Chain A
Amino acid sequence: MIGSVSTIVRRELLSLFVSPIAYIVLFCFMLVNGATFRFYVGLYGGEMEPVLVSTFGGPAFWFLWLLIPPLITMRTFSEERRSGTFELLVTSGVSDAALVAGKFLAAWVFLGLLWAGVLPLLLLAEAYGQLDWGVVASTYCGLALSSALLAAIGVLASSLTQNQLIAAVLATVVNLGIVLSNQLRALFPPSAIELRFFEYVSPPYHFARDFSQGIVDLSTIVLYASVTVLALFATVKVLERRRWA
């Protein structure tokens, strides 16, 4: 199982890096992050705390958070099914769970690499101001958890269709729904129970309340991990569907 998963992860990453999409995504990602970081450093002077909060919680962050994972995951199963390589993969004795785990891990690792690319900016910033590395660590913990969730949603969307574009749109719509759920909080009075629900499921709220404050709440970890596992489980079931169709 582990051998098959690592083989698939390696192949997926290799495919990503020999195709232009990885480099286009990397370039756009670094450009947007670099520009916004520069902007916030200029705006807040030597004050690093608001710079961190804005870099990992501003509009540009949520724009990247929404759009990048679907671009990475859209091809995972769609392309395999369209080109027929899916038939070869599943008839080589690899379990559906290993296949899904491999594809998911590759997407997750790639997203991790993207966010790791922002670290040099933070190191650079530390030369000019005081940086709370505890907050950086909790923010990266939030990024890891949310990236896992988004990668799992993207892989699930990709397993549902042979068309990469539809897979990307589907995953983006779901991600948008997750992010916008935070806006629904405005509809409820501060004491409403619904408000608690939307706070519980809203990543922007988690980033604002916990991760950017140096807090990693166990309930948040459980939420992200369980939804990720649920999405991956659903993907395995989608793949198994062919056996019962």
Chain B
Amino acid sequence: MVEDARSEWTAVWLLSLEQRDRLSEASCGGDAMIEVEGLTRSFGRQRVLDAISFTVPARQIAGFLGQNGAGKTTTMRILTTFLPPDPISGAVRVAGLDVTSHAREVCRRVGYLPESVPIFPELRVAEYLRFRARLKGLGTRRVKERVGAVLDLCDLTRVARRSLGVLSKGFRQRVGLADALLAEPEVLILDEPTSGLDPQQVAEVRRIIGRLSEVSTVFLSSHVLGEVEQVCDQIVILGGGTIRARETREGWTQRLERSGRLELLLKDPSAGAEKRLRSLSGVTEVAKEGGRFVIASSCDVREQVFALAVERRWTVLELTPRPATLESLFLELVSDEGVA
């Protein structure tokens, strides 16, 4: 029953989005729903964002990674028009519209979930959503329809009459998400959507986000690297106010493979073994960890290592690839930053 209502709602949304897509394609003339070119933002003398550029194509989920204070929230606030870019900054467009000169139109097309969901504690869940829907310019009939749909989608129907002030963090987060979805936004900007949720709630929110990407472009920030890896089509890493890396999920997989290490355990290794391993083409670093050689390389050197072992008559006890994790790669990418 609930599933039927949800799929019906998704179909309705898809239909209305098709109409809007034609309009937005006409206005932006392309597929990118978020376009950031040379965005700079300073607070006083501190430059938080330094000429960052990235694009998010329509109907994709992009993950924004960065340490605390890296500028993620600032970027999101600029995308939602809450903050302006610096006057000398480059262009920032959402759905083809400039966020500075078309702020109100951008707001109408964006659903925003701030980092710590701010709510009005005195209102009940449904009351709050009705207020937000009216504020977003929905007509009386649409308010009723949309509030019902988002309550259902975010599994909030059973708490619809409860005051927001008494809700748990997980429910508040879902209310924030429901609010972001009210006006059927083309772009969803979610700042740490799963922070503070228990594992079951995290899974539920991820499931909802996954479904939303069928109809919207999602741009989310997170501290949880695994989450970004699982959910996102594109990952953007921000560090020290600059973009440190930007790859598709496939690109990340390749990058992770390239950044992997090879562990080699030899029986009675000779004194010159480390030097000979280092001399192999593509090998960038050789370290010794507890009797094992850990080889870092820019390409696959397994065959070369094997050939060297045969040539030098080393007895190989173990030759194990140790794949890089997104976490290790992330730390490597942001390690030399001056935290903004």
Assess the B108–A93 pair: CB atoms within 8 A: yes
CA distance A83 to B119 in the complex (A): 8
Of A14-22, A179-187, A228-236, the segment with at least 4 beta carbons within 8 Å of chain B is: A14-22
Residues from chain B with Cβ under 8 Å of A245 in the complex: 83-84
Give which listed residue, A7, A87, A94, contacts B118 with CB less than 8 A: A87
B59: interface (CB < 8 Å): no
Contact-size category for B: 20 to 34
Give which listed residue, A14, A87, A89, A243, contacts B135 with CB less than 8 A: A89
Q: B residues 93-130 with Cβ under 8 Å of A?
A: 103-104, 107-108, 110, 112, 114, 116, 118-120, 122-123
Assess the B122–A14 pair: CB atoms within 8 A: yes
Tell me the minimal C-beta distance from A17 to chain B in angstroms: 9
Tell me the minimal C-beta distance from B101 to chain A in angstroms: 11
| A interface SS class | helix
CA distance A92 to B114 in the complex (A): 12
Residues from chain A with Cβ under 8 Å of B82 in the complex: 87, 90-91, 242
CA distance A11 to B120 in the complex (A): 10
Chain B minimum-CB-distance residue to A99: B135
Residues from chain B with Cβ under 8 Å of A244 in the complex: 84
Residues from chain B with Cβ under 8 Å of A4 in the complex: 134-135, 137
Give which listed residue, A3, A8, A88, contacts B114 with CB less than 8 A: A88
B80: interface (CB < 8 Å): yes
Residues from chain A with Cβ under 8 Å of B107 in the complex: 91-93
B67-90 near A? 1/0 per residue, CB < 8 Å: 000000000010011111000000
Residues from chain A with Cβ under 8 Å of B137 in the complex: 3-4, 93
Chain B minimum-CB-distance residue to A91: B80
Assess the B81–A7 pair: CB atoms within 8 A: no
Q: A residues 199-245 with Cβ under 8 Å of B?
A: 242-245
CA distance A90 to B80 in the complex (A): 9
CA distance A10 to B83 in the complex (A): 27
Assess the B77–A7 pair: CB atoms within 8 A: no
CA distance A87 to B82 in the complex (A): 7
Known A-B contacts A11-B131, A87-B77, A244-B84; the reply to A93 vs B136 at CB < 8 A is yes
Assess the A3–B134 pair: CB atoms within 8 A: yes
CA distance A141 to B85 in the complex (A): 46
Known A-B contacts A3-B134, A91-B112, A95-B104; the reply to A85 vs B83 at CB < 8 A is no
CA distance A243 to B41 in the complex (A): 12
Assess the A7–B83 pair: CB atoms within 8 A: no
A11-39 near B? 1/0 per residue, CB < 8 Å: 10011001100000000000000000000
Residues from chain B with Cβ under 8 Å of A94 in the complex: 135
Q: B residues 179-217 with Cβ under 8 Å of A?
A: 179
Assess the A92–B135 pair: CB atoms within 8 A: yes
Chain A minimum-CB-distance residue to B112: A91
B132: interface (CB < 8 Å): yes
CA distance A203 to B37 in the complex (A): 55
Tell me the minimal C-beta distance from A123 to chain B in angstroms: 34
Tell me the minimal C-beta distance from A88 to chain B in angstroms: 6
Return 20 A-B CB contacts under 8 Å, by A number: A4-B135, A7-B131, A7-B134, A7-B135, A8-B135, A10-B131, A14-B123, A19-B122, A88-B132, A90-B82, A91-B81, A91-B110, A92-B107, A92-B132, A92-B135, A92-B136, A242-B82, A242-B84, A245-B83, A245-B84
Given contacts A4-B134, A87-B114, A243-B84, 13 further A-B contacts (CB under 8 A): A4-B137, A7-B134, A8-B135, A10-B131, A85-B118, A85-B120, A88-B132, A90-B81, A91-B81, A91-B82, A93-B135, A93-B137, A94-B135
Contacts from B to A (Cβ < 8 Å): 77, 80-84, 103-104, 107-108, 110, 112, 114, 116, 118-120, 122-123, 131-132, 134-137, 179
